[in-house]
Structures are given as C-alpha cells and as structure tokens.
Amino acid sequence: MDLDRMFSGMSVSSSGMAAERRRLDVIARNIANANVVATPGGEPYRRQNVVFETILGELGGDGLPGGVRVKDTLTDHETPMNEVFDPKHPMANEEGIVAYPNVNMAFEMVDMMTSARSYEANMKAMKLYKDMMSQALTLLER
C-alpha cells in the first residue's frame, strides 16, 4: 500500500463532512431568511436546497466510490409561497396579501437534524480509520 492511499479513507469521510456542512449552511440561510419578504431583487426569499452527487474513484482510486460533493444549490420554485392577509403591510398586493417565503420550519429542522447526524457518522468513520492506521503503525515499533 503506497503512502498517499493511506489517507484516501480520510478524504472520503472529509468529503462527506464538507458536503453536510454546505447543506447546513443552506439550511441556516433558509431559516435566517424565513421572514424576508423583499430580497434585493424585490421578490420574497425562496427556499434553497442542495443536491449531492457521488464522486467516483477520484479519491479512492480503483473505481471505488470516492465520496460525495454538492452538485448544485437549487431554488425551490415548486412550493407555493406562504400567503398572509395583512393589508397594512407595505409589501401587500391589491388584495392585501403578503407573500412570505416558502420556508417550512418543520422541514428545515428535520433536514438540519439529518445533516448533523450524517456529519457525525462521517466523523466516526474518520476516527475509526485513524485508529486503524495507528494500529498499523505500531507494527513499525521495535
């Protein structure tokens, strides 16, 4: 086993951790903007979502699955906006309805928990890999 292969297991786990952190960033952005009715473009904020994709072979070599990365950050145009009747609001339309972002707190919380747990799982895998490699290194002791 050559020496840079020794750390490929760690790159797989760290790619997972990086991707989960990116997802947490987007969730945090959704929660922070949950009540933003006017973004710089004038539109209310729309929920964003990350899509993951598998990296094949680049980190692990030999065609082993090599980890994960964020393929794209998508804006959710499907979910309808949260319409609230508030005629006195400056952003209200002729019917007195204000369009609030399509961010659903329950969904964001669940996504946040999944993401945090996955981050933890990747961290455990990395720790175990490190333990295995230190075990292998004890073979060099006299």
Q: Which is closer to other proteins, CB of 73 or CB of 82?
A: 73
Which two three-digit tokens encode residue 124?
A: 């455990």
CB 23 within 8 A of CB 50: yes
> E-assigned strands of the chain?
48-56, 65-75, 82-85, 97-100
Distance of CA 82 to the CA centre of its chain: 24
| 128 counts as binding other proteins under rule CB under 8 A | yes
| 101 counts as binding other proteins under rule CB under 8 A | no
Q: Which is closer to other proteins, CB of 10 or CB of 97?
A: 10
What is the contact surface with other proteins in residues (CB under 8 A)?
1, 8-9, 12-13, 15-16, 19-20, 23, 51-54, 60, 62-68, 114-115, 118, 121-122, 124-126, 128-129, 131-132, 135-136, 138-139
